[in-house]
């Protein structure tokens, strides 16, 4: 759906207010309109159209902003005041509307070559290499029906491992992947292109209230292609919790340990390639000065140069160092005869008389039907429950208990050249506060900051203030906060069948988040930060050592509010929405990954976690998938 002409006219003026010329391109509004057209849910596009038209209503602006003019007739300072009012409104709907426009516009601008260059971000390190594609996906050029023993939906951490293990056991396997086949040759390291081609919904997926940005890979290899390589084994305490509280004793067996060890070995997980980046040096310095825990991160890389220029893991590793399923398990599977179909959107599993019989999918304009003895759903924790819901599976726990590891960061202007987009993507972490209460708490890690993340994080109170934070990017340090959330959200589907993510941070988890923010600020102070700030809707910062100290800052943060769209939250880790358990009333799959009550239907990805893993989840997903494949192979 295209925007209506009236909405487009307002959007052009909104975009020019958020990022005015000469920084913002003359056609920035039209570029944003193109992004809106790419939003996955028709309802979101319609909502934005209505919002833009309302913004041009004299009456609405009089009532909400005290300015009795259409937006397009306001002078520049009035337009800024009007948008600021929306950003910090007490009404969640207004904040949501502002964030939608701010994110779309600023990310679009700063991920363009001109926008990025203007803030000192150099962009890619030359052109990508020319690397052949060893997997030969099946071309679907007409309505097609295929048959196989096992069809796997999704090719990420879960699907990739299952495909390799089942082909090793002699099974005839088809892998269906919604994303395209992108390899080193396609890793241009242009942020806009990477987001568009390798992230779900072009990086624009979010919770229904936009309170949490949902980042997940959508490309052959799934999240393993664009993730940050951190490869923690499932912690013993979490294994114990899953074994006892969820009555899944296998998590404490030697068999599960062997699955972790096997996948770690296949990926070459090691701690020898974790040379600290500028970001990590700040983290380590602060932790050491405070005497807090820190440790080296295990990574799934072979021959990572760890030189200062790189740091583009989130856009695909062009050096082939990251051991994603794309270059490990999927190649193993393809070499053993697995058929792979890319750009294939599975709509539903076909179920006849309580037995899964295959899937119905679309590949571009064509219908693809796959008939199979078994179906493995491994579409990730947002889309696996959505596929099952669209297939008519009815279980009370389906889509519920969604854990997100809500993440945010405390950021700082440093008196040193950080260039936070460079260097080892994540090298060190701290578990100082990982167990505040029954295994719940938070980890500190860093994350690469390319322009899109800074654009999301930087508060917008005026075009000039946002631009000033953007210009500080090369000297921006950060402490990333990864919260182990105890209380989850839910995935549902709308009437078009699209996944909808519902999540509100519980007061329990919010208390841990507040504690994390205070501790991260203390850490940055110890590391020598000049100016400390948060990704809030309001600009609330402090200079360590000055009169307005940390406590005062926290009071101002409290006053700004902890509701949705007041503090930026991002999820990189979605889990537990089809959780494994001991009963069909509280879980979706049994201990052998079988969907309760349906023969031949399995789930094998992060959605089967009984609860949040508390550590970056990839290796746990793979270990679980490894065990699941062994079980399926024996059936």
Ligand X SMILES: Cc1cc2nc3c(=O)[nH]c(=O)nc-3n(C[C@H](O)[C@H](O)[C@H](O)COP(=O)(O)OP(=O)(O)OC[C@H]3O[C@@H](n4cnc5c(N)ncnc54)[C@H](O)[C@@H]3O)c2cc1C
Contacts of 361 (CB under 8 A, 6+ apart): 176, 341, 344, 345, 346, 347, 367, 368, 369, 370
Site string for ligand X, 589-608 (x = CB under 6 A): ----------------xx--
Give the range of 147-155, 243-251, 414-422, 546-554 binding ligand X by CB under 6 A: 147-155
Site for ligand X in 421-460 (CB under 6 A): 426
State the residue for tokens 């072979």.
Answer: 302
Site for ligand X in 363-422 (CB under 6 A): 378-381, 383, 387
Do residues 35 and 71 lie in contact, with contact meaning Cβ atoms separated by under 8 Å?
no
Site string for ligand X, 477-516 (x = CB under 6 A): ----------------------------------------
Q: From the CB of 371, what's the least distance to ligand X, in Å? A: 17
Q: From the CB of 254, what's the least distance to ligand X, in Å? A: 23
Do residues 204 and 192 lie in contact, with contact meaning Cβ atoms separated by under 8 Å?
no
Site string for ligand X, 564-583 (x = CB under 6 A): --------xx----------
Q: From the CB of 534, what's the least distance to ligand X, in Å? A: 21
Contacts of 17 (CB under 8 A, 6+ apart): 76, 79, 80, 83, 463
Report how far residue 628's alpha carbon sits from residue 174's, in angstroms, rounded to the nearest whole number. Answer: 17
For position 233 contacting ligand X by CB under 6 A, the verdict is no
Q: Judged by CB, which is closer to ligand X: 67, or 163?
A: 163
The residue from 24, 179, 385, 441 that contacts ligand X (CB under 6 A) is: 179
For position 203 contacting ligand X by CB under 6 A, the verdict is no
Q: From the CB of 625, what's the least distance to ligand X, in Å? A: 7
Site string for ligand X, 603-632 (x = CB under 6 A): --xx---------xxx--x-----------
Report how far residue 106's alpha carbon sits from residue 114's, in angstroms, rounded to the nearest whole number. Answer: 13
Do residues 347 and 146 lie in contact, with contact meaning Cβ atoms separated by under 8 Å?
no
Q: From the CB of 313, what's the least distance to ligand X, in Å? A: 8
Burial 450-463 (b: 16+ CB within 10 A, else e): bbbbbbbbbbbbbb
Q: How many residues bind ligand X (CB under 6 A)?
A: 42
Sign (positive/negative) of CA torsion 594, 595, 601, 607? negative
Do residues 16 and 28 lie in contact, with contact meaning Cβ atoms separated by under 8 Å?
yes
Q: Judged by CB, which is closer to ligand X: 218, or 424?
A: 218
Site for ligand X in 306-325 (CB under 6 A): 314
For position 286 contacting ligand X by CB under 6 A, the verdict is no
Give whole-number Cα distances, 160 to 19, 259, 326, 530, 605, in Å: 42, 15, 8, 45, 10
For position 155 contacting ligand X by CB under 6 A, the verdict is yes
Query: Which residues contribute to the site for ligand X (CB under 6 A)?
Result: 153-159, 176-179, 215-218, 222-224, 226-230, 314, 344-346, 378-381, 383, 387, 426, 572-573, 605-606, 616-618, 621
């Amino acid at each position: 759906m295209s925007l209506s002409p009236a909405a487009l006219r307002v959007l052009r003026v909104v975009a020019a207010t958020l990022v005015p010329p000469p920084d913002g391109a003359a056609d920035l509004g039209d570029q944003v309109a193109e992004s809106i057209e790419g939003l996955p849910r028709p309802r979101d596009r319609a909502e934005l159209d209505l919002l833009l038209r309302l913004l041009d209503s004299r009456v609405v602006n009089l009532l909400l902003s005290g300015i009795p003019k259409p937006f397009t007739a306001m002078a520049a300072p009035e337009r800024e005041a009007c948008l600021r009012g929306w950003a910090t409104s007490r009404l969640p709907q207004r904040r949501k509307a502002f964030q939608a426009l701010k994110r779309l516009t600023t990310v679009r601008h700063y991920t363009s070559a001109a926008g990025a260059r203007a803030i000192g971000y150099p962009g890619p390190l030359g052109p990508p290499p020319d690397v052949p594609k060893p997997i030969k996906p099946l071309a679907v050029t007409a309505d097609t029906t295929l048959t196989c023993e096992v069809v796997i939906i999704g090719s990420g951490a879960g699907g990739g491992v299952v495909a390799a293990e089942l082909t090793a056991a002699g099974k005839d396997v088809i892998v269906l992947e919604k994303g395209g086949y992108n390899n080193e040759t396609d890793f241009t390291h242009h942020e806009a292109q990477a987001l568009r081609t390798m992230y779900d919904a072009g990086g624009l997926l979010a919770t229904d209230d936009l309170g949490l940005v949902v980042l997940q890979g959508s490309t052959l290899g799934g999240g393993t292609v664009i993730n940050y390589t951190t490869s923690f084994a499932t912690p013993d305490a979490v294994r114990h919790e899953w074994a006892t509280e969820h009555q899944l004793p296998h998590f404490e067996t030697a068999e599960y340990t062997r699955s972790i060890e096997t996948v770690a070995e296949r990926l070459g997980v090691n701690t020898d390639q974790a040379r600290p980046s500028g970001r990590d040096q700040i983290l380590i310095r602060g932790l050491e000065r405070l005497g807090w825990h820190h440790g080296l991160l295990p990574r799934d890389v072979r021959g990572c140069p760890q030189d200062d220029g790189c740091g583009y893991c989130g856009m695909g590793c062009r050096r082939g160092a990251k051991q994603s399923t794309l270059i490990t398990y999927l190649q193993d599977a393809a070499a053993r005869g697995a058929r792979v179909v890319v750009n294939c959107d599975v709509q539903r599993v076909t179920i006849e008389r309580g037995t899964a019989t295959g899937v119905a999918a679309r590949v571009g304009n064509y219908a693809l039907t796959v008939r199979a003895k078994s179906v493995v759903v491994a579409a990730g924790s947002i889309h696996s429950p959505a596929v099952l819901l669209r297939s008519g599976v009815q279980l009370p726990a389906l889509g519920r208990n969604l854990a997100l590891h809500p993440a945010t960061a405390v950021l700082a202007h440093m008196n040193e050249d950080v260039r936070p987009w460079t260097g080892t993507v994540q090298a060190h972490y701290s578990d100082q506060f990982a167990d505040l209460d029954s295994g719940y708490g938070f980890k500190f890690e860093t994350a690469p900051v390319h322009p899109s993340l800074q654009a999301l994080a930087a508060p917008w109170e005026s075009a000039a203030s946002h631009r000033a934070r953007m210009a500080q990017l090369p000297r921006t340090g950060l402490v990333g906060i990864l919260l182990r959330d105890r209380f989850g959200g839910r995935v549902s589907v709308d009437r078009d069948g699209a996944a909808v993510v519902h999540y509100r941070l519980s007061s329990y988890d919010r208390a841990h988040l507040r504690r994390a923010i205070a501790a991260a600020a203390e850490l940055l102070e110890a590391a020598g930060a000049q100016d400390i700030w948060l990704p809030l809707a309001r600009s609330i910062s402090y200079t360590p050592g000055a009169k307005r100290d940390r406590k005062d800052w926290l009071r101002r943060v409290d006053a700004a509010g902890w509701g949705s769209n007041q503090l930026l939250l991002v999820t990189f880790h979605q889990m537990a929405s089809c959780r494994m358990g001991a009963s069909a009333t509280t879980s979706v799959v049994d201990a052998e990954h079988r969907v309760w009550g349906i023969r031949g239907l399995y789930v094998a990805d992060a959605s089967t976690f009984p609860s949040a893993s508390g550590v970056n989840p990839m290796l746990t997903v793979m270990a679980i998938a490894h065990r699941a494949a062994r079980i399926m192979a024996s059936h």
